[in-house]
Amino acid sequence: MARATRSSTKQTTLTQYTTSPAKDKANGRHKAESDEEGPKHANGKRRAPSSSPPPSKRTRPNALSSKASPTAAANALADPASESTPSKARSSNPANKVGNVDTHPNPPGADAPVVKDKIASAGAGARVDADPPVGRLERALEEHRKGWKGGRGRGECVVYWMRMEDMRLKDNRALSLAASIAQEESLPILAVFLFSPGDYEAHDRSPRRIDFMLRNLRSLRKSFQELNIPLFTASHDQRYSLPKKLVEVCDEFGANAVCANVEYEVDELRRDESVVRLAGGKGIRCEFVHDKCVVKPGLVLTKEGKPYTVYSPWLRNWISIVQSDPSNLECASPIQANPSSLPSKLDKLLKNPTPIPDHIPGFECKDSDKMSVFWPEGEEVAAEVLRRFLHTKARKEQLGGGKGVLAPGEVEDAKHSRAMKYSDARNDADKDSSSRLSPYLASGVISARECLRQAVAFSGRKKLEASDRSDGVQMWTQEVAWRDFYTHILAAFPRVSMGRPFLEKFNDVKWEVDEEKLQAFKDGKTGYPIVDAAMRQCKEMGWMHNRPRMIAASFLVKDLMLDWRLGERYFMQSFIDGDLASNNGGWQWTASTGTDPQPYFRIFHPTNQGEKADPSGDYIRHFVPELRHLKGKVIYAPSEHMPAAEFKKLGYPAPIVDHKFARERALRRYKNPGSE
């Protein structure tokens, strides 16, 4: 393979990120989906739900209150970038240690299912938005480059600092840049990966996500070894001193430069700003490269030069930028093997590599064997998952039951593939209609650019198109674009990672405090089959089909009236594809608190949604085996259609809330935030 050259490595700088915390008026409207239903009920005798209390006059404690500032988000769960939709965590809750951030503690209440992390105050959210950390990092890099005078000279190596969102060799811009610098300086490359349990805990990383990270890292070590590139690993418990640890590693191995890809969460950007300053003080060149998004954050702006907060006009601009500048989809240059002769420290490390643990303490994955079947690790696996999406038909037997993304029996049929049928079938949960790429995108095992390059090639077009929603490939391209959109929102409005609702007017919405109902939701025992199937799929697979994610999220927020941040955290702690930006975006879209959200008065009817998302009923039958013998409409609302005695024999719970009551309560509280 040819060695990477600097000219072929796309370096991007970020501007336009000194934004006002004031809300920007959106250019255009994004039409909300039209399949939300009012309180229709299936015909037949209704069985009384187990809990349908009248509205209480008593003021309930607010599980997650504090004066808010706007936060992100929009259309809940886009397939590939965000099959991982409602799936983020408080992945950047800069507490007082990190900077000038004041917080409000959660209100007391022993029985309240309170998110333990603090939620930043409105003032803190406004301050971080006024000077986004991504802009601060960029300014630090500009100062670093201007003051660069060659540092320590030639050095002994160039460090590529891999993180848990860019776990690949192919199309990796930071790695390609490191290779380019190494070539210029006639130096070898050293890959470095630092485990940070404190960050994983603070960011609600799931054991499954950490296990997937470790499995992919082992795979990458083999790939690096084939290129004579040593991989150094170490665990560092004190998250706020991680920059110092990295620079110490660079210093130990005599690094001339360190290269990494940008991560857009607040804590991560502040960490990397510290790395730039510490590395510069040691005479080590430091480069951070925009890699995660197809179009770098800060480029897709309104005519007034402001970030979009509505998806539709943002998408039109995004497509125009991609079409006008082919480098946005350009593959980063491949890297070449290190020289056969290495400096003694690197040679020793190559022959006696530092260990990659079986697990990270506190993040033991109890179903690791099962996850490795559902979601095998490796770049080749990710490439094959993408190929199958583009070229093979959907299969109902892929619902679960130990069937992984590479289960045998696929049917090659490019004309009727999942990609070709995506526009019509993407919401069908009763077969593998979606790409199932979200775990691989979230961990950076495959790049979004590669996904779109392959989609363009498959479509036979010369350039990227995404305007025709009736075209399966173009529809999927729009869903990949959602991943960029939410990351752009995160970069421009970093308060989204600090527990703030984007729409300030909904900050005072009253939330219920009901640990029992929250647990029933998590366990898939709500009495609403489509919701329960979704939550049990989460437990079984560490993943959930996009449409059921949306339905389950809506049920938690609008039916149970539980704070969306509880669901946001639970998804992040459960899913293998957790991504802060997409998860927060999806949950805030569903909760009607985010950017371009679902209007608060559009409330999913869980029974009707079940009929639409699972027309055959096979999804429910698979994940809710108590109902596997039920036929027709009965399976979507058994408590309504069956005599009480027959229903009891199922061993399935009655609905824990009455939808009509819940809908009226949600409308009342959203219409007048702060009211009961």
Binding site per annotation, positions for FAD? 422, 434-438, 476, 479-486, 577-579
Residue 169 near residue 175, CB atoms below 8 Å: yes
HEC assignment per residue over 394-449? CCHHHHCCCCCCCCCCCCECHHHCCCCCHHHHCCCCCCCCCCCCHHHHHCCCCCHH
Catalytically annotated residue among 268, 273, 479, 540: 479
- Residue with token string 């702060």: 674
| Strand spans (E) along 437-584 | none
Token pair in block for residue 350: 């190559």
Catalytically annotated residue among 172, 216, 507, 546: 546
Catalytically annotated residue among 161, 375, 511, 589: 511
**Is 543 assigned a catalytic role?**
no
Catalytically annotated residue among 268, 587, 589, 608: 587
Distance from C-alpha of 387 to C-alpha of 69, rounded to nearest angstrom: 42
DSSP states of 355-402 as a string? P--SS-TT---TTHHHHHHHS--SHHHHHHHHHHHHHB---GGGGSTT
Distance from C-alpha of 607 to C-alpha of 16, rounded to nearest angstrom: 45
Q: Show the CA angle centred on residue 651, arms to residues 650 and 653, nearest 5°.
A: 105
**Is 352 assigned a catalytic role?**
no
Rounded to 10 degrees, the C-alpha dihedral 87/93/98/100 comes to: 130
C-alpha distance from residue 372 to each of 377, 406, 461, 572 (Å): 7, 11, 36, 19
Distance from C-alpha of 531 to C-alpha of 523, rounded to nearest angstrom: 10
Distance from C-alpha of 254 to C-alpha of 588, rounded to nearest angstrom: 46
192 by DSSP, 3-state: which?
strand
Catalytically annotated residue among 375, 564, 584, 589: 564
**Is 479 assigned a catalytic role?**
yes
DSSP assignment letter at 557: I
User: Which residues are 104's β-sheet partners?
Assistant: 119
**Is 587 assigned a catalytic role?**
yes
Q: Residues forming the annotated binding site? A: 422, 434-438, 476, 479-486, 577-579
**Is 482 assigned a catalytic role?**
yes
Distance from C-alpha of 228 to C-alpha of 346, rounded to nearest angstrom: 10
275 by DSSP, 3-state: which?
helix
Distance from C-alpha of 355 to C-alpha of 401, rounded to nearest angstrom: 33
C-alpha distance from residue 322 to each of 264, 466, 471 (Å): 21, 11, 19
Catalytically annotated residue among 482, 504, 540, 543: 482
Q: Which residues are catalytic?
A: 479, 482, 511, 546, 564, 587
